[in-house]
Every structure is written in structure tokens, then in C-alpha cells.
Amino acid sequence: MALRRALFPQHDEAFLRAEMERFVAQPERHAQFLVIDEDGAPAALAEVSLRANPAPGSRSAPEAFLEAVYVVPQARRHGLARALVMHARAWGRAQGCAELAADDLPDNADGLALRRALG
């Protein structure tokens, strides 16, 4: 929950917990990937879901949609986000999706940089 709170500070814990429980209850539609560091603490998170209505510019449906990626500041620049996105992409392919879509807010410099790095 700590990673979701850090990623979505505008939402209260009750909302974040309910959303996470909804994801976990529908494993055919949602997946969450978590990286745990050597001390047992959560270090990174990715959330992906299937969307029947693809995002603008997508070429196929359903599509896997990268809902969130977060890496704690002290674990950044070690390839964790890239590894999580690759897992999300593989999950989407296993669900029959041809592509992985994502979007970022214009002021999300970290998200935009990750998308540029991944191509």
C-alpha cells in the first residue's frame, strides 16, 4: 500500500485499498507486479489491466494498458521500471493482447522519460 500511496497521493487510503482489492479480485483483467528489495521492503510496483476499448492510437483490442509504474527514489536508475514494464507486456501477450498502451500527464517528467527510454 505504501507504493500506491506514494504514487497516488491525491487519493485516500480507503480508495486505494478498494481499488487494489478490485484488481486482485479480477486476475483475468488486472495484474500487479511488485519488486521487494533485499531488506524485504517494497521497492517498485506496476499495475496493468485489459481494456476492451483501446486508447486513442491503438491498433488492436483488447489491449493491455499500463495503469501505473512506481519505483521508490532510492531504487531508481537500476532497471526496475524497465523490468516491470517487460513483465506487464508479457502478461498482456499471455492475455492475447498485441500491444501495451500507456499514457502520462504532461507534467509527469519521470513517466515521459520512461516511455522515451522504452521506445
pLDDT surpasses 70 at 100: yes
Please state the rounded mean pLDDT for residues 4-27: 91
Contacts of 13 (CB under 8 A, 6+ apart): 1, 5
Residue 117 above 70 pLDDT? Answer: no
CATH code for the domain defined by 2-118: 3.40.630.30
- Cα separation of 71 and 65, whole Å? 18
Q: Is the pTM of this model over 0.75?
A: yes
Contact 64, 86 (CB under 8 A): no
How far the first Cα of the chain sits from its last, in Å, is 29
Each residue's pLDDT tens digit, 38-97: 999 999 999 999 988 766 777 777 889 998 899 999 999 899 999 999 999 999 999 999
Per-residue model confidence as pLDDT tens digits over 27-49: 889 999 999 999 999 999 999 99
